[in-house]
């Protein structure tokens, strides 16, 4: 795609300098136009400069996705512009610089995505792997508190809400790679602490810390994928990465049921710790930094040392003091959550549906042990239905969305709202699955019937989760990481707290009444994707968050 300069007067949106300023301020987001402002080299006649106009299409900057706001990374050579005048600005060595992650080989990009996806799969798996062993935990620690029995599972997810608030700002200052390594090391340590916990209270504390320090792949993984992929490739890459937070919690109890029955509940944590250690060693050997500001900052530091020129600086240097950068990055997601209706309502919808996943987890062990008389080692298999549904939804969405995006890009009719087309059937499947599951259990029909209901729920969950997150990335471009952080925090808090009400709710209303109540809330939220599909572009232009 060749960028076509917009008329200089009047401008339809921010010029490239403004986009770069936004990108530098965003920090931990990856969608930044980074092929600009390198140290001039007479042998390189052309480069994009901060004055390069950006094509935003007929609808303005809100539809200026990666291709428009950041396509300089792949097509800078197609636009001839004068050299930057400041000789102290450091950037890539031309549009084909191999140090730029956008120019990595397909094999190297795929490797980076798979490694991050592996981390992102393991961390959420740790949230639920010992769920079938909770009765053994409560028995060992002589507790009959059903609230604590649920909290010892969900407190881990509560850590996901607080970890990114610190991890994301630190990644701005030090890059993604050190945060991945530190996160994995600390996660391994506190998972081992869970395996050795001497009391229920210490287990809860260690679980919370393990979730918080292990949240780096959840907070930074989407940005890493955006570092190395184009818009057309992103649905596939995001679908692989999102297997972690969606399928990981489902597969965890399947393995955990056998581990708890055969080796005891503590071995669930030993297995996760061993896997985390193996991933950590592999990451140390294979992972490389993908975050453009960190790469260019390191390059500028090296050039200052080699040349003695202390004035050299990265084009993407924000100019903020570390303390200011840290605080700025914490405040930004909060502002987006409460000032942008798109971020708020989509995050609330995803949080509601995601919390249902963990709430259902609190019912499976009791229902399939007592009502359907599953053996303890087999009770984890009751989670298979959601897993099957999640796989169908995940890869079905990826295949359909990629076809749809390519079609509309080729026709020049693509808008971010196209991502929500496949969210609409998911909005119907979630309440259908909840009603079906609750009343099937209430009626004590054959166990396959509630399992089939969870398949439907799993498909609906993914068809809501995937389009919503991809839509936020496409809409907010340079501020996508802040929107995703807001989404993650709200989702994690809901997934940690709502399941605590599950036992009391089902005791008071029965499984049929409880499932109907949950399904009713899902019906109330059902219009959300349809509203944004029709009015999303208008809302994006009307409610612009000043950051």
Please list the residues that pair with 514 across neighbouring strands: none
Would you state the pLDDT for residue 76? 36
Q: Which of 12-26, 154-168, 427-441 has the lowest mean pLDDT?
A: 12-26
Most confident of 155-159, 252-256, 429-433, 496-500: 429-433
Domains of the chain: 16-90 (no CATH), 104-288+322-542 (1.20.1250.20)
Report whether 126 contacts 183 (CB < 8 A). Answer: no
What pLDDT, in 10s, does the model give residues 64-116? 333 333 333 333 334 444 555 577 787 788 888 888 888 888 888 888 889 99
DSSP state of 58: T
What pLDDT, in 10s, does the model give residues 469-485? 888 877 876 566 677 77
- The backbone region for 374, taken as left when phi is positive above 0, alpha when psi lies in -120 to 50, beta otherwise, is beta
What pLDDT, in 10s, does the model give residues 27-50? 333 333 333 333 334 333 333 333
> With 60 as the cut, is the pLDDT of residue 25 above it?
no
> With 60 as the cut, is the pLDDT of residue 388 above it?
yes
Distance CA 324, CA 322 (A): 6
What pLDDT, in 10s, does the model give residues 128-153? 898 888 889 999 998 888 888 888 88
Given the structure tokens 């087999």, which residue do they identify? 378
Which value, to the nearest 10 degrees, does the dihedral of the CA atoms of residues 196, 200, 206, 208 take?
Answer: 150
Among 111, 87, 90, 88, residue whose Cα is nearest residue 101: 111
Would you state the pLDDT for residue 133? 86
Would you state the pLDDT for residue 21? 42
Would you state the pLDDT for residue 502? 83
Distance CA 380, CA 365 (A): 8
- Decide: residue 15, CB within 10 A, 0-12 exposed, 13-18 middle, 19+ buried: middle
What pLDDT, in 10s, does the model give residues 271-311? 999 999 999 998 998 889 988 888 888 888 888 888 888 87
The interaxial angle of helices 341-366 and 502-525, nearest 10 deg, is 140
Would you state the pLDDT for residue 545? 67
SS3 55: coil
CB contact set of 299 (below 8 Å; sequence gap of 6+) = 90, 99, 314
What pLDDT, in 10s, does the model give residues 242-258? 888 878 888 888 888 88
Distance CA 407, CA 401 (A): 10
What pLDDT, in 10s, does the model give residues 50-63? 333 333 333 333 33
Distance CA 356, CA 154 (A): 12
> With 50 as the cut, is the pLDDT of residue 339 above it?
yes
Report whether 519 contacts 353 (CB < 8 A). Answer: no
Would you state the pLDDT for residue 317? 74
Report whether 38 contacts 315 (CB < 8 A). Answer: yes
Average pLDDT for 330-344: 84
Which tokens hold the place of 510?
């029965």
Q: How many CB atoms lie within 10 A of CB 339?
A: 14
Report whether 388 contacts 380 (CB < 8 A). Answer: no
Would you state the pLDDT for residue 66? 35
């Amino acid at each position: 795609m060749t960028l076509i300069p917009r008329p200089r007067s009047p401008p339809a949106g921010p010029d490239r300098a403004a986009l770069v300023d936004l990108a530098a301020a965003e920090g931990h987001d990856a969608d930044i136009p980074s092929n600009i402002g390198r140290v001039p080299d007479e042998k390189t006649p052309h480069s994009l400069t901060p004055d390069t106009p950006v094509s935003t299409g007929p609808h303005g900057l809100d539809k200026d996705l990666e291709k428009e706001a950041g396509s300089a990374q792949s097509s800078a050579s197609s636009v001839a512009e004068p050299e930057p005048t400041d000789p102290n600005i450091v950037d890539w060595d031309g549009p084909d610089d191999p140090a730029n992650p956008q120019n990595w080989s397909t094999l190297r990009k795929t490797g980076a995505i798979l490694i991050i996806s592996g981390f992102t799969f393991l961390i959420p798996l740790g949230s639920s792997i010992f769920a079938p062993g909770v009765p053994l935990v409560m028995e060992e620690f002589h507790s009959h508190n059903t609230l604590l029995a649920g909290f010892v599972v969900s407190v881990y997810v509560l850590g996901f809400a607080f970890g990114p608030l610190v991890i994301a700002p630190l990644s701005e200052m030090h890059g993604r790679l050190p945060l991945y390594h530190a996160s994995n090391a600390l996660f391994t340590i506190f998972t081992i602490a869970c395996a050795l916990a001497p009391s229920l209270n210490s287990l809860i504390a260690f679980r919370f810390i393990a979730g918080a320090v292990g949240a780096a792949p959840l907070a930074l993984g989407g940005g890493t994928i955006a570092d190395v992929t184009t818009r057309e490739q992103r649905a596939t890459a995001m679908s692989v990465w999102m297997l972690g937070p969606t399928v990981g919690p489902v597969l965890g109890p399947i393995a955990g049921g056998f581990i708890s029955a055969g080796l005891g509940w503590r071995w669930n944590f030993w297995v996760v710790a061993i896997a985390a250690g193996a991933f950590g060693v592999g990451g140390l050997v294979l992972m490389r930094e993908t975050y453009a500001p960190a790469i260019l900052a390191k390059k500028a530091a090296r050039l200052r040392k080699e040349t003695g020129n202390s004035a050299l600086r990265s084009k993407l240097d924000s100019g903020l003091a570390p303390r200011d950068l840290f605080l700025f990055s914490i405040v930004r997601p909060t502002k987006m959550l409460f000032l942008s209706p798109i971020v708020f309502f989509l995050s609330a919808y995803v949080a509601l549906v995601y919390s249902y996943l963990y709430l259902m987890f609190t019912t499976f062990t009791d229902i399939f042990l007592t009502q359907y008389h599953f053996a303890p080692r087999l009770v984890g298999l009751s989670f298979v239905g959601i897993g099957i549904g999640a796989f169908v939804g995940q890869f079905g969405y990826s295949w359909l969305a990629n076809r749809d995006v390519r079609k509309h890009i080729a026709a020049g009719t693509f808008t971010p709202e196209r991502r929500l087309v496949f969210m609409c059937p998911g909005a119907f499947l979630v309440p259908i699955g909840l009603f079906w599951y609750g009343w099937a259990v209430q009626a004590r029909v054959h166990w396959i019937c509630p399992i089939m209901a969870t398949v439907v729920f799993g498909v609906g969950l993914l068809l809501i989760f995937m389009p919503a997150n991809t839509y936020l990335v496409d809409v907010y471009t340079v501020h996508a990481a802040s929107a995703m952080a807001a989404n993650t925090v709200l989702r994690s808090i809901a997934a940690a707290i709502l399941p605590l009400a599950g036992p009391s709710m089902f005791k008071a209303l029965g499984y049929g009444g409880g499932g109907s109540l949950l399904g009713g809330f899902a019906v109330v939220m059902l219009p959300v994707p349809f509203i944004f599909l029709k009015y999303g572009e208008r809302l994006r232009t009307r409610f612009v968050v000043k950051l």
